[in-house]
């Protein structure tokens, strides 16, 4: 794959991700109130949701609410939750991965056994369990519960990938020279290891963001996310499933939003990886993107 091809893929990913954030930031100012009900003008004479039209770009839902406004509000919620959860997971994974890779020995073994313990559970089932437990806590009904869940299950892959990268760097001439010069372990990790894994970190962040967007939608669909009436894409899917025959836009709109958002960040991650390793071509993200 040529550099021009790689650059186009990366440019598409950056443009798509930027457009999503732009919608999430300024979109709510341009659309109506996502919670406003219009039981007269927002429903047909038979009380059914209105299809997409010039007045309602994505139609209305079963309560006469503007689906477009709810999609935009859902984007704000989903992107915020995914961004915070990804940042926390990346901080945990980066710290544990670098420490394990540099220290080696018993420290490495202990930290990797912790990673194995978390990975032993199916990710979705573990997320559902944590979300259900947090519903009974003071975090119930808040975004904090979902952020905690996503961060708690999302750091392990990052830690494993960064640990492997740190192990290779720790055996390199640069680190050996720093040790010989009397540099402390903390200085070596911060000055020599961290700058050399930032490229991998950017790929992991993009993949993790996509995974968190999808996981948040799944949890919301299962009723473990933000409670109604606040719109989230997963909750809109769950609410619209009863109308998929008579009002398919109630399922198509949030479904396509989830697909577009997840695809945008996967394209971004793919472009970043190809930019770092042009020989990767069309290879998948492999261990960096799957669990």
% of the chain surpassing 70 pLDDT:
90
> Which residues lie below 8 Å from residue 139, measured CB to CB, with a gap of 6+?
145, 148
pLDDT at position 14 is: 92
Cα–Cα distance measured from residue 21 to residue 19, given in angstroms and rounded to the nearest whole number: 5
| C-alpha angle 155-158-162 in degrees, rounded to nearest 5 | 140
Position 291 confidence tier, pLDDT thresholds 50, 70, 90: very low
Which domains are delineated in the chain? Answer: 3-24+65-288 (1.10.3720.10)
Decide which of 84 and 226 is more confident. Answer: 84
> Which residues lie below 8 Å from residue 197, measured CB to CB, with a gap of 6+?
94, 98, 162, 165, 166, 169
CA-closest candidate to residue 193, choices 277, 98, 111:
98
% of the chain surpassing 90 pLDDT:
31
pLDDT of 281 higher than 70:
no
CB atoms within 10 A of CB 268: 27
pLDDT digits (tens, 9 = 90+) for 189-238: 888 888 888 889 999 999 999 999 998 898 888 877 777 788 889 999 99
Out of 24-33, 62-71, 75-84, 257-266, pick the least confident: 24-33
Q: How much is the average pLDDT of 159-169?
A: 89
Q: How much is the average pLDDT of 276-290?
A: 48
pLDDT digits (tens, 9 = 90+) for 103-134: 888 998 999 999 888 888 777 777 777 777 76
* Cβ proximity of 153 and 130 under 8 Å: yes
Phi-psi region of 172 (alpha: psi -120 to 50; beta: other; left: phi over 0): beta
Residue 43: strand pairing partners: 49
Q: DSSP 3-state assignment of 114?
A: helix
* Cβ proximity of 100 and 112 under 8 Å: yes
pLDDT at position 289 is: 45
Out of 10-24, 121-135, 180-194, pick the least confident: 121-135
Q: How much is the average pLDDT of 36-62?
A: 84
């Amino acid at each position: 794959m040529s550099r021009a091809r790689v650059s186009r893929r990366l440019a598409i990913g950056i443009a798509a991700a930027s457009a999503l954030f732009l919608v999430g930031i300024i979109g709510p100012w341009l659309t109506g109130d996502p919670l406003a009900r219009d039981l007269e003008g927002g429903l047909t004479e038979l009380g059914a949701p209105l299809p997409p039209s010039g007045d309602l770009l994505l139609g209305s839902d079963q309560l006469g609410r503007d689906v477009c406004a709810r999609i935009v509000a859902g984007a704000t919620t989903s992107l915020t939750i995914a961004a915070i959860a990804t940042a926390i997971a990346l901080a945990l994974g980066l710290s544990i991965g670098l420490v394990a890779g540099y220290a080696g020995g018993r420290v490495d073994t202990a930290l990797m056994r912790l990673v194995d313990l978390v990975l032993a559970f199916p990710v979705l089932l573990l997320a559902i369990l944590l979300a259900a437990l947090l519903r009974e806590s003071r975090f119930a009904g808040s975004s904090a519960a979902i952020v905690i869940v996503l961060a708690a299950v999302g750091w392990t892959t990052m830690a494993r990938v960064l640990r492997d990268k740190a192990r290779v760097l720790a055996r390199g001439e640069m680190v050996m020279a720093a040790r010989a010069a009397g540099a402390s372990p903390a200085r070596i990790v911060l000055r020599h290891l961290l700058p050399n894994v930032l490229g991998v970190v950017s790929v992991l962040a993009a993949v993790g963001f996509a995974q968190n967007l999808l996981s948040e939608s799944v949890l919301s669909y299962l009723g473990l996310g933000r409670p109604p009436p606040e719109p989230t894409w997963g909750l809109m899917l769950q609410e619209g499933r009863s109308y998929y025959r008579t009002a398919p836009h109630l399922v198509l709109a949030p479904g396509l939003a989830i697909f577009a958002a997840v695809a945008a960040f996967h394209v971004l991650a793919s472009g970043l990886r190809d930019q770092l390793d042009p020989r990767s071509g069309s290879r998948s993200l492999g261990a960096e993107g799957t669990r």
